[in-house]
């Protein structure tokens, strides 16, 4: 056999060996990715069970007792979502397709509306409490209006996404907004930078000495 033929055979063997190494490496990477995907799907199924408790939260003014557990669930949800996105990109690069992650989309549909509802309730009610005890000079009508509008927009998006109990929470939050709206003209006037001390003296004569301006 000529040196040329021997060289060709050697090169072919080396190329075959390199292809085998690349195939084995790719297979190992894919198997590792599939194991991570299986683990993630298992955790998502477990998380689906964990978030069922949010269906029991149905009292608007009891939110301080369960807002922390809801935030903890949201942190876990965000972590699962990030891992899913990373794995989707890896899977797309390696195989050209993405897994369905059906459990994730069930979680998204069930959990996100509840989290939006209770985080909006916490933000709005807490701020409203602060406004009620704050001096009039510290009130910012633009911030109050912005939070009211953002909360209203969130509640509109949530219409039709809950059972009867959570819809009662929505209605309660709408009533809180209506209550604030009834005070908005007064708040706006009290925030008027043109008010002088003599105006405040007149206002206090009408409202009583408990009005806090400073």
- pLDDT, average across residues 4-30: 72
Residue 141 confidence (pLDDT): 83
**Distance of alpha carbon 76 from alpha carbon 207, whole angstroms:** 49
The whole-model pTM stands at 0.79
Q: Decide if 129 is inside a domain.
A: yes
Q: Decide if 82 is inside a domain.
A: yes
Range from 44-58, 157-171, 174-188 carrying the lowest mean pLDDT: 174-188
**Distance of alpha carbon 149 from alpha carbon 155, whole angstroms:** 10
On average, the pLDDT of the chain sits at 84
- Written as one string, the DSSP assignment of 158-174 is HTTSS-HHHHHHHHHHH
Q: Residue 98 — very low, low, confident or very high, per pLDDT cuts 50/70/90?
A: confident
- pLDDT, average across residues 26-32: 84
Q: Decide if 94 is inside a domain.
A: yes
- pLDDT, average across residues 172-178: 93
Cβ neighbours for 158, distance < 8 A, ≥ 6 positions apart: 113, 116, 117, 170
Q: Decide if 214 is inside a domain.
A: no
Q: Residue 27 — very low, low, confident or very high, per pLDDT cuts 50/70/90?
A: confident
- pLDDT, average across residues 134-162: 88
Q: Residue 170 — very low, low, confident or very high, per pLDDT cuts 50/70/90?
A: very high
Q: Decide if 116 is inside a domain.
A: yes
More confident residue, 60 or 199: 60
pLDDT at 212 over 90: no
Q: Decide if 26 is inside a domain.
A: yes
- pLDDT, average across residues 54-71: 93
Number of folded domains in the chain? 1
Maximum distance among all Cα pairs of the chain, rounded to whole angstroms: 117
Q: Decide if 212 is inside a domain.
A: no
**Distance of alpha carbon 139 from alpha carbon 184, whole angstroms:** 11
pLDDT at 21 over 70: yes
pLDDT tens sequence across 146-155: 999 999 999 9
More confident residue, 213 or 133: 133
Residue with tokens 């979680």: 107
Residue 7 confidence (pLDDT): 60
- Residue 136 contacts residue 212 (beta carbons within 8 Å): yes
Q: Decide if 191 is inside a domain.
A: yes
Residue 192 confidence (pLDDT): 66
Burial class (CB in 10 A: 0-12, 13-18, 19+), 195: middle
List the domain range (segments joined by +) for residue 165.
3-207
- pLDDT, average across residues 40-50: 96
pLDDT at 129 over 60: yes
């Amino acid at each position: 056999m000529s040196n040329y033929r021997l060289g060709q055979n050697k090169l072919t063997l080396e190329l075959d060996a390199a292809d085998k190494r690349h195939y084995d490496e790719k297979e190992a990477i894919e198997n590792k990715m599939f194991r991570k995907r299986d683990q993630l799907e298992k955790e998502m199924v477990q998380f689906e069970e964990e978030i069922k408790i949010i269906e029991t939260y149905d009292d608007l003014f009891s939110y301080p007792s369960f807002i922390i557990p809801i935030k903890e669930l949201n942190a876990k949800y965000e972590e699962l979502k990030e891992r899913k996105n990373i794995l989707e990109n890896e899977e797309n690069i390696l195989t050209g397709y993405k897994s369905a992650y059906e459990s994730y989309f069930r979680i998204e549909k069930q959990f996100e509306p509840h989290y939006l509802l209770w985080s909006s309730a916490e933000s709005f009610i807490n701020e409203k409490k602060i406004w009620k005890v704050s001096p009039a000079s510290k009130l910012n009508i633009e911030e109050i209006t912005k939070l009211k509008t953002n909360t209203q927009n969130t509640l509109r998006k949530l219409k039709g996404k809950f059972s009867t109990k959570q819809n009662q929470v929505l209605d309660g939050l709408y009533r809180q907004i209506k209550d604030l709206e009834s005070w908005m003209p007064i708040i706006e006037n009290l925030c008027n930078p043109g008010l002088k001390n003599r105006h405040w003296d007149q206002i206090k004569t009408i409202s009583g000495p408990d009005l806090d301006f400073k």
